[in-house]
Structure 1
Amino acid sequence: MSTLGGGPVSDLITPGQKLLAAPGEWVIYAAGPVNQNQTFIWGMGEKFTVGSGQSITVSGLGIFVDNGAATNGTATVKVWNMATSTAVAGLTATFGAGPYDLVAGSYRAIYVTPVVLGAGTYMVSAAGNLTNYNTGAGPPGLALFNTLGGKLTWNGSYYGFDTNIPPENGGNAPPNPINFGLATLLAS
């Protein structure tokens, strides 16, 4: 497990919360129970690579909610296959007012039928009426990227202005190690 900005994993949980969403399910991107520091009405994503000869099973999609509060507005979380610029079948979830399970820090989740992602590059993104915790716009050190024992590599954060394509293809790539702390997935 590695952090972006150097903050310890313990920063991401408070008593009564859990980083482990369910047996064998881990939150891939997370920020601690913090207040949002940015609003954005388009799309934001985190790109990652599943290593050669590796695979992960995605069992849920999640979204940042301000300090663990109720979701405001609606937002759609998707996992994109970056080789084809298409959404991965079965890995789309729309969040509204909830309630949803609080899985870690400030993240709510919707569980999905498990989908296996093989080796390749993907992006988990959210688009809609969004608040997020941008480590480039706030205190650093509260963002986490879980490598799942070396299976995954983080490839940066992206934002875009077309919510029908991955943010990388419709926007800009901020310099690392900015992490928007917005969309997440549960995987093992």
Structure 2
Amino acid sequence: MAKMFLDAQFKIDKRKQQTESKLIQTLKQKWQEGIGFDQIEIKALCESAGVSRATFYRHHQGIEDVVMVQFLMAISEFEQKIDALNRVNFENGSITVIDVIYANLDLIKMVKWSHMQAKIQDLFGGTALKILISRDYSKEAKNFISEYLGTAIFNFAQQIADAKEPMPKAEALRLYRLLLPNRL
């Protein structure tokens, strides 16, 4: 079976990855301390992360871009895992979705805090659209389905992340398979 090569467009070099890691870890610390996202200044973020402001501005327009890059990396990881499957079907695809959600629970929790819901939901929809490109649907149907799936998967991920009691992965997988369409 031919690979879809979903991850072909997003690459990040090692130095930039280290910078992104420092920035997101510092943001995560601020989030855990209960500091409001809107209260964080770029200068203070850069100082705390040990990143120069020039480096920050070379790669970002604002602090929300730090969160966006992390989601792009998580989605790229998902796409690589999907491409690595010998045969993509609902069963192994849903396992991959759940694995990526659980690997990024804190990042998903940070979405509301950073006011990024709409932008992140669009990323999920864009990934669904990439998968639908090879399907025989009209452009309107592909857009409708990808927006629906992007919203559904993003909302599902947020429900898992925001649960008061951690949900076992097996239960999340069962619910995912129950709630999302298994044929497209």
Fold match by TM threshold 0.5: no
Higher strand share: 1
TM-score (norm 1): 0.27
Q: Which is greater in Rg?
A: 2
Higher helix share: 2
TM-score (norm 2): 0.27
Where relative contact order (Cα < 8 A, 6+ residues apart) is larger, the structure is 1
